[in-house]
Amino acid sequence: MRKSIVAILLILFSAVDFLAHSQPVSEKTAGYKDFILDDEHIWLLTTTGKLRFGKWRSDSLASLTSTDTSVVAIGKDRKGNIVISDASHRINVFDRKNQTWLTLITCKGKLTGFVFDSHNHCFALTDQGIVDPVRQISYFPDSTYSGNESRWLKKKRWLATPAYFADSRDNLWLGLNYGEWGGDVFAFDLQKRSFLHLETDSVQMNRNPVLAFCEDPDNVYMAGGVSHMVLTHGSIVKFTNQKASPILLSKDRETPEEVTITKPDGTKKTETWTTWKGGHLIGPIAYNPSNRCLYFYSQHGIFKSTLGADLSDISQWQLILKPTLRWSSGQQYAAGPAMNVLKMQFSPDGTLFFLSEHDGLGIYDGKNLRYIK
């Protein structure tokens, strides 16, 4: 027991040292929070609300796209137009011909994102729920839709900014990261404008933060993880017809480790300490239709597996890339590092794009890795 406590203290001291070297964000040190692919071009959104633009096959960004206020989110409508939301409560579409931004809609509340349904109708995401800007109607789930029985839903306001994903069936998925308190997931039917009751009994949402979604032709996948104190946990969950089933659970296991220490008299002694190892802090997830494989990122690298494999067995996941990336020094609801890869996406030819917070956009063609910074 004493040796376990000593091990914990050593790790905590290392974490304090790591925190001491963190730096405030400036325009020069700003990282990235999102990106979108636009044919041969790439759009990157910085953590300071600026847009960077260029050709992704080149080694650097060609230009800085100006806006008159801070950009909050970036995406596309169903016609392929570039769309942004900003700090002035506007959702703007890019006029390619005149190279300018046109206001599409304005809505109340703090904007955090937006999606478009199959009819190209826009829905805004705010700190107080989902908004239909045309009808000026807001939607927020009550506690009966929660898989975590969260006390925060009573305030009609998200505690954390949700990860969001609009699937091909016009369902909007919202995932919440509560750190050491797990997470929550909601699905909203964009056509019927109503929340769906998800069957999540097989998933312990109070232990599973949600960071990302993706879909294959038949299912929606949800992924997330947390590193808190000295323990790491991650999961991937599949939703079929609104029913959840865990397909991968990865957590640290108690592992004895031989440690050699030096006594005050200079002699050495080997002791057995208790450590925790093996868990994956799972972040973004992506489906590659070109090879029908599912991919996820964790602190151990980027892994892939075919859909027909036993995805619950971590040995069935192949490590394809282990990029060296910097990590942020903490997160809001857990005493551990925040996820440093924010998004993964494939181009039609199967090229993998992954966005790191501090090291730019990684581009991997299966053989070579390069970055746009």
pLDDT of res. 138: 94
Listed as own residue / partner, the contacts of 191-196 with beta carbons closer than 8 Å and 24 or more positions apart are 191/117, 193/132, 193/137, 193/139, 194/139, 195/139, 195/141, 195/145, 196/145, 196/171, 196/242
In this structure, are residues 211 and 193 in contact, taking their beta carbons and an 8 Å threshold?
no
In this structure, are residues 211 and 163 in contact, taking their beta carbons and an 8 Å threshold?
yes
Model confidence, pTM: 0.84
What digits encode the pLDDT tens for the residues 145-167? 988 876 566 677 888 899 999 99
pLDDT of res. 368: 94
pLDDT of res. 123: 97
Tokens representing 177 are 């990261």
pLDDT of res. 14: 39
Nearest-angstrom CA–CA distance, 224 and 135: 34
What digits encode the pLDDT tens for the residues 99-143? 899 999 998 889 999 999 999 999 999 998 999 988 889 999 988
* Mean pLDDT of the chain, nearest integer: 83
Nearest-angstrom CA–CA distance, 333 and 75: 27
In this structure, are residues 160 and 150 in contact, taking their beta carbons and an 8 Å threshold?
no
Q: What is the chain's alpha carbon radius of gyration, rounded to the nearest angstrom?
A: 22
Q: What is the mean pLDDT of residues 263-274?
A: 72
Tokens representing 361 are 């956009």
Contacts of 111 (CB under 8 A, 6+ apart): 72, 73, 85, 86, 87, 89, 91, 124, 125, 126
Contacts of 353 (CB under 8 A, 6+ apart): 35, 37, 42, 56, 344, 345, 346, 347, 361, 362, 363, 364
What digits encode the pLDDT tens for the residues 61-90? 656 666 788 999 999 999 999 999 999 999
What digits encode the pLDDT tens for the residues 229-240? 556 778 999 999
